[in-house]
Structure 1
Amino acid sequence: MPGINDIKNHDKFSKLSNIHPCMGGKAHMKFGRLHLPVSPTCNIQCKFCKRDYNNNDENRPGVANGILAPKDAVKTVKRALELCPDITVVGIAGPGDTLATGYAIEAFKLVNEAYPELIKCLSTNGLLLERYAAELYAVGVSTITVTVNAVDPKIQSKIISYIELEGKKYYGEEAASILIAAQLRGIKKISDFGIVVKVNTVLVPGINEKHIEETAKMVKEAGATLYNIIPLIPQYELKDVPAPTCFELDAARAKAEKYLEVFRHCKHCRADACGIPGQKDLSSELYGTRNNLETFSHG
């Protein structure tokens, strides 16, 4: 039986999905989102994550033309709304992990004071989500995306190389166990605040494609409301793993739908995306061109 928080969060999701382009198909081609690239570093190393200088033409999560200072967040939102009045969401999705530094929370505090009506949305690998859940709620965050690629340490250890926590690096299944436990605790705590949780899973053929159903089941039990399966972009240590086929993606989504509603419109947005997904991206007009600044993918 669903608990009271599950019912409240699902009702909240039903309303948000009509105006949040990354949570509802109806909103996807109608409303816009702005990503503020304020988070420069990451605390985990995914095997599909390429840490490199940015390519201006590269469209994938975790890259941006540069890093934005939190103090510049409000004027950036103002300019973005001038470029695209249909923006309803201000999100922070990197280019590193958003909770590896305090910059995302700092930026959201300023934006929420200036634009309380806009939806505040955060993406994270979840390692520190439990720790910062109360602060995220306090600065007006209403939706969270957590990337959970597996809930079995043996499988997760094939996707991540290590994590960094409290100044120490952890490797292998130990790192995977710490990360998975932290993600599930974080989803539980943040959902208890009434924040809607979407879970992203990168589908990696030969590694986690048979694990999607178990992952969906466990994140649902933790408090997630929506599930998004992202095809692997072959690169870095997983450069020789082929991207999943459309058939494999459809099969994975069908398994996940036994437990959670599945979002099917993801565009692999950059950490500095601006505008309505699927239409012209306005990030170069908003941020300009800032080459040769190091950017990191999120986990």
Structure 2
Amino acid sequence: MRQASTAPAFPALEGRHPCFSATAEGHSRAARLHLPVSPGCNITCRFCRRDFNDVEHRPGVATRLLTPEQAVDVVRRALLLCPTLSVVGIAGPGDPLFTRHALRTFTLVHAAWPELLLCLSTNGLLLPERADAIGEVGVRTVTVTVNAVDPAIQAVISPVIAWHQRRLEGVAAAERLIRNQLDGIAAMKARGITVKVNTVLVPGVNDAHVEEVARSVAAAGAELINVIPLIPQHRFAHLPRPTAGEVHRARQAARRHLRVFTHCQRCRADACGVPGVSDFTAELYGDNRVAEPTFSHG
């Protein structure tokens, strides 16, 4: 059982990567940029509604989609707008491993600015087979969204996946996803890449299961967990938001096995700035901000 600690979880990242900093001070010191280069997803999550707009502040939303080459120009301008920028991440709007756009973008960014930390967020379905490529492009931190390690629970949250041009449903889909997530975490650990797990807390679905998630991902090699309260929307719009007490209890349960990240701002896929402190997204996109149709859910 892991004991709570106020020491930095990752000294090399403390104050440089806001999503891997254990202290509030470290979290509010460095800026990050998310590049929205990933157009589609290979799993369906009942809480996920991907969209293009400039008003919502949540995951899965971006002003517009970028090509890898356009993303390089955005990084260049972001560095001028935000001198404390230290992390470039790709977290959507779809899954970054579903297409090659994210890995291509990381290759270009790493060649131009090797001092920047590169961070990838994924559902983990393709993580094992992309493990070598992720390491080769310079990614140092990976976040994997793992909402359950019990297939019956996972099937409620993500009932369908697209796996090697096949549609898998229900428990079969959940078993494949969970297996790949845990194998992918282990593959990242073996390559010296630091792994954080995001778990969306869904009342009545996985709220009593968070400790088992933490136990399993810790055994696979994850070193940090972020329990995120559900945003009731899409097919989970009828569910209540988790209460502060429910979130606290879930985090306490997870803390028995992993360090718990508690400063999450649930960022957009095109966020720029210090989370919860500054936001340069409007300056980056300006009058080029456009609305586009919602992505298909797989």
TM-score by length of 1: 0.93
Instruction: Find out whether 1:18 has 2:20 as its counterpart.
Output: no
1:125: which partner in 2? 123
Structure 2 runs not aligned, ≥5 long: none
Q: Percent identity?
A: 54
Count of residues in correspondence between the two structures = 291
Q: Could you tell me whether the CA contact under 8 Å between 2:197 and 2:225 is conserved in 1?
A: yes
Q: Aligned partners of 2:211, 2:190: CA distance in 1, in Å?
A: 23
Change (3 A) 1:226 1:84: same
Greater RCO (Cα-Cα under 8 Å, separation 6 or more): 1
Letter aligned with residue 145 of structure 1? T
Residue in 1 that maps onto 2:232: 234
How much does 1:292 deviate? 2.5
Correspondence for 1:196 among 190, 194, 197: 194
TM-superposed deviation, 1:293: 1.9
In the alignment, the residues of structure 2 paired with residue 33 and residue 88 of structure 1 have an alpha-carbon distance, to the nearest angstrom, of 6
DSSP-derived class of the 1:141 partner = coil
Give deviations 1:136-189, integer Å, cap 9, x for gaps. Answer: 111100000000000000000110120001111111111001000000000000
**Alignment partner for residue 138 of structure 2, among 128, 137, 140?**
140
Taking the TM superposition and a 5 Å limit, the aligned residue runs for 1:106-117 are 106-117=104-115
Q: Tell me which residue corresponds to 2:166.
A: 168
SS at match of 1:13: coil
Give distance in 2, aligned partners of 1:75 and 1:47: 34
**Cα 1:225–1:296, aligned 2, differ >3 Å: closer, same or farther?**
farther
Match of 2:43 in 1: 44
> Quick check: 2:119–2:139 contact (8 Å CA) kept in 1?
yes
C-alpha distance in 2 between matches for 1:184 and 1:197: 11
Deviation at residue 97 of structure 1 after TM alignment = 0.3
Q: 1:277 aligns with which of 270, 275, 278?
A: 275
Distance 1:277 1:297, change over 3 A: farther
Using structure 2 for the length normalisation, give the TM-score: 0.93
Q: State the partner residue of 2:75.
A: 77
Q: Do the aligned partners of 2:60 and 2:93 also contact (CA within 8 Å) in 1?
A: yes
How many Å separate the matches in 1 of 2:118 and 2:297? 18
Instruction: Report the aligned-residue RMSD.
Output: 2.0
1:33 maps to 32
Distance 1:223 1:294 in 2: 38
Q: Give the letter for the 2:103 counterpart.
A: I
Q: Residues 252, 213 of structure 1: CA spacing in aligned structure 2 closer, same or farther, 3 A cutoff?
A: same
What do residues 93-148 of structure 1 show as CA deviations (whole Å, max 9, x unaligned)? Answer: 00000000000000000000111111000000000001111111111000000000
